[in-house]
Amino acid sequence: PISLPRGRTCPMMRVHGFRLGNKMHVFASHRSMVPRSLYSSKHIGTRRSFCISSAGPVPNDASNRPAITIAMRQSPPESLPDAFKLVASQLRPLDHSIKELVGTDHPVLAAAAQHFFALAGKRFRPTLVLLAASASGGGSEADPRQRRLAEITEMIHAASLLHDDVIDLADTRRGVKAAHKIYGNKVAVLAGDFLLARASVLLARLGDVYVVELLATVIEEMVQGEMMQVRATPSELLEFDHYLSKTYRKTAALMALSCEAAGVLGGHPPHVTAALQAYGRHLGIAYQIVDDMLDFTGSEEVLGKPALSDMEQGLATAPTLFAAEEHPQIQEVITRRFKNEGDVAMVSDLVRRSNGMSKTADLAISHARQAADALGVLPPSAARDALLRLCFDVLNRSA
């Protein structure tokens, strides 16, 4: 137990961390509500859910641990099943179901809310939830509550994109006009709010208070991550800690806590749900780091958005921060958010001439490997192998 003020203890608390260079990034977690004042450390959040109880140690059976190759830059082994094909039959009705769930009497609001779901996509996050549900259950298909969780997860993701595009003044999303460009800012924001409200109702109907807390925490984290992005001080823009914390909140929190929620709905013990969360957290961080690399290497046709858009929006990501270690002149450009003419072109050139991209790739690989390692507590199954395959797919994706 960790001692708390006034003689209280929190036996459900756990501290987790990972090392980057010579720094340790630490997060705290608990199941019960603890006053925010206890979390004054810069690197400790208020309600992480790395929920390990005193139920027993995490199994460490080497025979049950998936074989992880060090060469994660390579294509995945052919023996690993395609994650999206494995759950295709469960994903197929998802879009239709969501369209029914987000129906409203107001046609314009309904059209704006459904805008995202009309776009072609792999449905990465619901795939993750369905596989987490199956893998933690030894290979059985997700049950109805877990399938509904997958839909809720996609609705929260869609709402965040509707809001992000308004905040970022984005013209396109996946190569087509952003919703606010079609319906206007007010309708796009209201559509995002409507999706979150409808997702909250569906979440409550799952009948699990802790799952409600997990997904409510996701929404809180997303808002905090967006605030970190738009309100960062010049000094924070240069800090890798700030970048990683923002990355977790804006991208990885949804993957991490929805994977954990899938395990909770399956009735699995804490060491299993914690492993699912660790997997989703590290996979989500790797996913976003690769996305930040693609901003430098991808084309607008493939990405569905302009290349170098992060810097155009004043954002410093891992390649830029690593490059700034070799080229200190980049730091001044970062602190002024690339506002001067020629800033983006100059930094882009310095990033390519530095080790920024290779160091960023190594960081993504490190998180993908940690995600893969977390799968070791799960029983062997095709679903677990598909989750392992996703670690490779995230690193090798081109869009």
pLDDT tens figures, 2-35:
333 333 334 344 444 444 444 444 444 443 332 2
Q: Which range has the worst mean pLDDT, 44-58, 211-225, 351-365?
A: 44-58
The tens digit of pLDDT for each residue in 96-110 reads 888 888 877 788 888
Question: Measured at the alpha carbon of residue 111, what is the angle toward residues 110 and 112, in degrees to the nearest 5?
Answer: 90
Q: What is the pLDDT of residue 257?
A: 98
Burial of 40 (0-12, 13-18, 19+ CB in 10 A): exposed
Q: What is the pLDDT of residue 307?
A: 85
Is the pLDDT score of 46 beyond 70? no
Domains of the chain (ranges plus CATH)? 1-48 (no CATH), 49-63+81-396 (1.10.600.10)
Please provide the average confidence, as pLDDT, over all residues in the chain: 83
Q: Which range has the worst mean pLDDT, 4-13, 155-164, 310-319, 382-391?
A: 4-13
The tens digit of pLDDT for each residue in 72-87 reads 556 778 889 999 999 9
Q: Please, what's the b/e burial string for 179-207 (b: 16 or more CB within 10 A of its CB; e: otherwise)?
A: bbbebeeebbbbbbebbbebbbebbeebe
Is the pLDDT score of 203 beyond 80? yes
Instruction: Report the amino acid identity of residue 116.
Output: F
Supply φ then ψ for residue 14, to 5 degrees: -145, 145
Mean pLDDT of 318-334: 98
